[in-house]
Homo-oligomer: A and B are copies of this chain.
Amino acid sequence: MAWEPDQAGGAGRPTHRAKVVRAPRKEGPRIQPDLVGKQQFQGKHPGDRYVRVIRQHSGDFAHAGPGHLVATEEALEARGPVGRGFGRIKRLLIGPPLSTAQAAHERLTKTKALAVLSSDALSSVAYATEEILHVLLLAGLAALTYSLHIGAAIVVLLFFVGISYRQTIKAYPAGGGSYIVAKDNLGELPALTAGAALLFGYIVTVAVSIAAGVAALISAVPDLHGHRVSLGLGFILLVTLLNLRGIRESGSIFAVPTYLFLAGILGMIALGLVRNAADGFDARPPIAPDGEVIAATGSLGLVLILTAFSRGCAALTGVEAISDGVPAFQPPEWKNARATLTWMIGILAVTFSGITFLAHQYGIVPLAANHPGGYETVVSQIARAVFGGVNPADYDFQFATLAIQILAANPAYSDFPRLAFFLARDRYLPRQFTFRGDRLAFSTGIVTLGILSGLMLAGFGGETGRMIPLYAVGVFTAFTLSQGGMIARWIRLKEPGWQRGLAVNLVGATATGIVTIVVGVTNFRKGAWIVIVLIPVLILMFRSIARHYANAAGELAEQTPLDPKDIEHTVIVPVAAINRVARQTLAYARSISDNVTAVHVTDDEAEIEAMREAWDKLGTDVPLVIIESPYRSLVGPLLAYIDEIDQQRPNDTLTIVLPEFIARHWWEQLLHNQTALRIKAALLFRPGTVVTSVPYHLERHTGTAGGATGSTGLGRRM
């Protein structure tokens, strides 16, 4: 009912309003006030009341039952032109919002999943052979032939890891990343270690992949050299935006180039094998290009072989993506995921062994990054040897490498947000990581990954070489913990066939454990120490977040009853001048409590008497306290006064009712000091103060003095 008795006689429900100043926002059916008059709400049971409230409704809601509304897409629309503008840009970039019910449609088919989740592993395979050859080269050209033995060992390990993950997927059909497996079988500390190692690993993966992609682009277009970092950040932004569009849509976008790259690699291997077979599988002796003499700087011992093996194990990174991503598959999730994993392992085995074999057969020697004749990858050298000389396929291969490297960043964009979701669900990360965005993707995780990997890329100046040592330790730590978790599980549950599973995981855990140690030791000074320092820091962070949530939940759960009747109010109203805003605010304050004090802060001694007289004329029963502020500060003395009153009445609930003057336009708002905002900001972190903003919205004046026209009903503006 109106604040002003000139409208409806003061008491009783008004049957008619002369004019409603604010136009209704929508053209939906306008509700007749008498349909929802207040007295009708007083049902027998308090729950009866809301039935009436929602009896009729605009397009914003559908009615689902008593006291139960379902918001439509219309209700999402932002109010105000600025908000609508932002909304439109957001839709343009990431697409219209999807409802939660659409989640099942957003699942990945096996074909798309293979593209989305295997690009990281595929790109690892492309350089794993090169890593092996680089290490062997330290023992001279002749040592390169051992790449065949090491490659064979890695393929065997790949099969073990593959079988192991097939078991994991079956055991954890709701998603079995290292964190989940370690948590379920080994306890909190191993789980958090795996979580920290993987989160950091994903950030490095994105930074390294994008940086490598940019390096490939720059070697094709050298003019771009000076823009390395900004190009990298641009690609990260692009991949982030694509992933915000949702997993299915990004799957469609990424599928084509992944399969094209795969076709190219497989075609190259097939043609190479055929040509080599035609030569009677004759292996050319390795010859350094440009007739360079390569001196052996080390001898071929166990350490060198182990190092070459662990470097080659890079081929295994990315294999875990599918077992992490089981929930993204179409149902039956675990079966589809397992089939996709089998395909992926097969493809990896073929490509890795094919590349390693052809490199040996064609006598390829890996080049140093600063090779005087220009650097070229081992795969590119093979392609040149297979396709022969000045084929245009050669040039295309640089772009294919660029593409697959950029794509290699993509699985991390599925895995990081999902792992962050699991950690946040267990309260080790902020709750925001559990929210699904407009497109049902975990937006917070995607954006966080984009920002952190962008910072890393910029921090390392976009140089791949400086970031790679950070990479493997974390990933293999997580691998080992995952295998270890499965070992514990076999022993604990002793399911049928557990001996075979245990054997597979024992081999896997031993091999990945050795790789972890070798990689950690050999790269320690080149950057692996950062990971070894960072993981405990992250674990501490996870734990203190969990402690905070536990404390908060504990405190909030207390069931002490609260009776509104026990609340004693002390209300303070800061008053700048005696005008309509102040009177409206005072009336509001008095309507919620009879213990109201008005406070006027002034820097003008001369004004005090006039203020007091005007106050007495007001005829209110609210007392006025005047605070003289010789230093002209308003907020300081007001806060000091509130502190004072609070100390005097420690058991009361203190409410500060602030008059807030809202102009029609932002530029008009600048003409008024933002005192209310400043007071609100100062009170925000003051314990135990309720802050009430009573807005006064200035009307569009057209000359007549309002009031009598009935169009200035405060009930409308309050």
Contacts and interface: CB of A to CB of B under 8 A. Distances in A.
B566 A580 contact: no
Contacts of A603: 100
Interface in A342-386: none
10 contacts: A38-B649, A48-B623, A70-B628, A98-B631, A432-B673, A558-B712, A563-B587, A592-B592, A650-B715, A690-B694
Given A97-B632, A662-B685, A688-B695, 7 more contacts: A5-B563, A10-B563, A31-B647, A60-B641, A100-B604, A557-B579, A569-B591
B99 A631 contact: yes
A252 interface: no
A76 B629 CA distance: 9
Contact of A690 (B41, B78, B693): B693
A1 B566 contact: yes
A628 B701 contact: no
A26 to B, nearest CB: 8
Sort A-B residue pairs by CB-CB distance and give the 7 closest, nearest first: A71-B637, A99-B630, A60-B640, A564-B590, A556-B579, A75-B640, A592-B592
A625 B54 contact: yes
A554 B430 contact: no
A82 to B, nearest CB: 9
A438 B1 CA distance: 46
A3 B663 CA distance: 38
A548 interface: yes
A562 interface: yes
B560 A6 contact: yes
A167 interface: no
Interface in A200-257: none
A653 B623 contact: no
A37 B643 CA distance: 16
Contacts of A275: none
A609 to B, nearest CB: 10
B99 A641 contact: no
A365 to B, nearest CB: 49
Interface stretch (A14-22, A325-333, A396-404): A14-22
A105 interface: no
A648 B49 contact: no
Interface in A52-80: 53-54, 57-58, 60-61, 64, 67-71, 73-80
Contacts of A3: 562-563, 566-567, 653
A500 interface: no
Given A36-B649, A698-B552, A705-B558, A627 B70 contact: yes
Contacts of A587: 562-564, 567
- This chain: copies in complex: 2
B688 A555 contact: no
A622 B671 contact: no
A651 to B, nearest CB: 4
Contacts of A651: 1-2, 7-8, 13-14, 17, 33, 713, 715-716
A83 B436 CA distance: 37
Given A430-B670, A579-B557, A629-B71, A688 B697 contact: yes
B557 A630 contact: no
B24 A647 contact: yes
A146 interface: no
Contacts of A68: 608, 625-628
Nearest to A74: B640
A654 to B, nearest CB: 7
A317 to B, nearest CB: 32
A187 interface: no
Nearest to A64: B628
Interface string A570-586: 00000000011101101
A378 to B, nearest CB: 46
Contacts of A593: 592
Contact of A5 (B566, B608, B698): B566
Interface in A77-95: 77-80, 83
A465 interface: no
A691 B692 contact: yes
Interface in A119-152: none
A445 B332 CA distance: 70
Contacts of A564: 586-591
